[in-house]
Amino acid sequence: MDQPTQPMAELIALRSRNLAMSAIKEMSILSAKVPGAASLAWGLPSFRTPAPIRDAVARALETDPAIGMYALPGGLPELCAAAAQEHERRTGVRRDPEKHITITAGNMEGLNTLFHVIVDPGDEVIVTDPGFVSHISQIRFNGGKPVFWQMREERGWELDIENLVGLIGPRTKAIVLVTPSNPTGCIMSEATLRAVAEIARRNGLLIILDDPYSHFTYENSARFFNLATAAEYADHIAYLFTFSKAYAMSGWRVGYMVIPEALRTEIVKVHDLAMICTPRISQVAAMAALENEPTHLPEFETILGRRRALICERLDQLAHVFQYVRPEGAYYVFPRVIDTTESSTQFSHRLLQEARVTMTPGAAFGPSGEHHVRMAYCVEDDTINLAFDRMEAYFGK
C-alpha cells in the first residue's frame, strides 16, 4: 500500500493546531481513565430529562412521519413562535419569531455561529475574567481576540464598570456576559448590567447574553436581573437560552437565540453551514419543554441548593486549602488554592492522580483564574462527599 507522502499532521490548519482542548473536557477525559475518580469537573447535571418531554418525543417518533427529516435552518416555525412567546413571558419584550428567533443546537453552537457572523480577523470581543472557557476559544478560533474584563474576587466577583470603557477600542465588536456566572457563581447587579448596556449602545457594540443558568438563583432570585428585559436595549442584545441545564436536556443539543433583526439572516446562513438544522427530534423536545408547565424546576433548584450548602460546608472544613466566595447562582464554586506555587493545571492534575478527585483548573477561564479551581456541584451528593472525603484524607483536616 502507498505510504502517504507527508504525515497527516502537516495538513492540520494553524487555527486548529493552536486550539487547546477545553480544559473542562480534557479533565473529564483524563478523569474517565482514573477508575472511580470523583469528578466535579463538568457542569453536567445529574437530572433526567423531565417525563413530559420524553413522552412527547416518544409520541412524535411513533406518529410524526417527518420526525426523521431535515427542517428549515431557522427552526420549526411553531418552536420559533413558542420561543418568542416564552421570551415575552420572561422578559416582557415582544420579538417577531421570523425576524428575531433562531433555534440553535445549544448555546455553544449558537455562540460559535454568532462569532462567525460578527468577528473578522483582528476584531475584539470583551469577556469577563474569569469567564466561560469556550467563549475564549471560540473568539480565538474565529480569528478574534478576547479582551479580558476582570472580576473582583475581593468584592464577590463583582465587575468594575469604570474599567470597561478603557477596554473598548476601534476593533471591539461585542461584550459577552453570563449571569449567574460560570465559573464564579456570582449574580451581576442590575446597576452593572444597565451600565454595560448603556456603554455598549453608545459604542455600537453587541451585548451577548449567554443564559444557561438564570433558573438557578436560589435565595437571590430578587437580585437576578435579566438584561433582556430592558426593551430599550433589545436591538443591541443577542440573548441565547439553552434547554441544557434548566430542562436537563444537555444531550439533546437545543436552545434558542433572540437576536437583532439585522443579524438573523446571517445567523441562519452560518448555522446552516454546520447544522443544516437543529435535529428535528430535539426541536420537538424543546417544544414539549415550552408547552408543559416546568414543574421540575423548583425540585431541581431545591436539590442544587442543598448541594451548594453541602459543598460550602465541606469547603469550610478545608479552609487551610481553599478560600472561596459563596456562589449566588448557577452550580459552580471557584475557590482559590491557598499557599500554592503550583499552577492550577499542575494542582488539578496532581489531585486527580494522587487523590482521585477531578476539577477544572482555573487558568482555563482567563488570567484571573490562575491559582483557582472550578468545582461543579450539579453532581450527586455522594460524589461531592466522596471528593471531599478524599481531599480531607489527602490534605489533612
Ligand X SMILES: Cc1ncc(COP(=O)(O)O)c(C=O)c1O
Q: Which is nearer to ligand X, 237 or 391 (CB)?
A: 237
**Residue 301: how many CB atoms within 10 A of its CB?**
18
Q: Which is nearer to ligand X, 43 or 390 (CB)?
A: 43
Q: Is 106 in the site for ligand X (CB under 6 A)?
A: yes
Site for ligand X in 156-195 (CB under 6 A): 178, 182
Task: Write out the three cell numbers for 309.
Answer: 450548602
Q: Is 127 in the site for ligand X (CB under 6 A)?
A: no
- CA–CA separation, 208 vs 193, rounded Å? 12
C-alpha torsion angle, residues 251, 263, 186, 305 (rounded to 10): -30
Distance of CA 229 to the CA centre of its chain: 20
Nearest approach in angstroms of CB 108 to ligand X is 3
Q: Where are the beta strands (DSSP E) in the chain?
A: 38-39, 101-104, 124-129, 145-152, 158-159, 172-177, 206-211, 237-242, 255-258, 322-323, 332-333, 336-337, 357-358, 360-361, 373-376
Site for ligand X in 312-371 (CB under 6 A): none
The alpha carbons of the chain give a radius of gyration, in whole angstroms, of: 21
Three-class SS string for 157-188? CEECHHHCHHHCCCCEEEEEECCCCCCCCCCC
Q: Which stretch binds ligand X (CB under 6 A): 56-64, 105-113, 117-125, 339-347?
A: 105-113
| Closest alpha carbon to 188 in 198, 176, 196, 180 | 180
Among 71, 76, 79, 108, indicate the residue that binds ligand X (CB under 6 A). Answer: 108
Among 26, 124, 210, 328, indicate the residue that binds ligand X (CB under 6 A). Answer: 210
Nearest approach in angstroms of CB 72 to ligand X is 21
Q: Which is nearer to ligand X, 39 or 107 (CB)?
A: 107
Nearest approach in angstroms of CB 250 to ligand X is 5
- CA–CA separation, 286 vs 56, rounded Å? 10
Give the number of residues in contact with ligand X, rule: CB under 6 A.
Answer: 13
Among 31, 91, 107, 179, indicate the residue that binds ligand X (CB under 6 A). Answer: 107
Q: Which is nearer to ligand X, 331 or 356 (CB)?
A: 331
Q: Is 250 in the site for ligand X (CB under 6 A)?
A: yes
Site for ligand X in 228-247 (CB under 6 A): 242, 244
**Binding residues for ligand X, per CB under 6 A?**
43, 106-108, 132, 178, 182, 210, 212, 242, 244, 250, 255
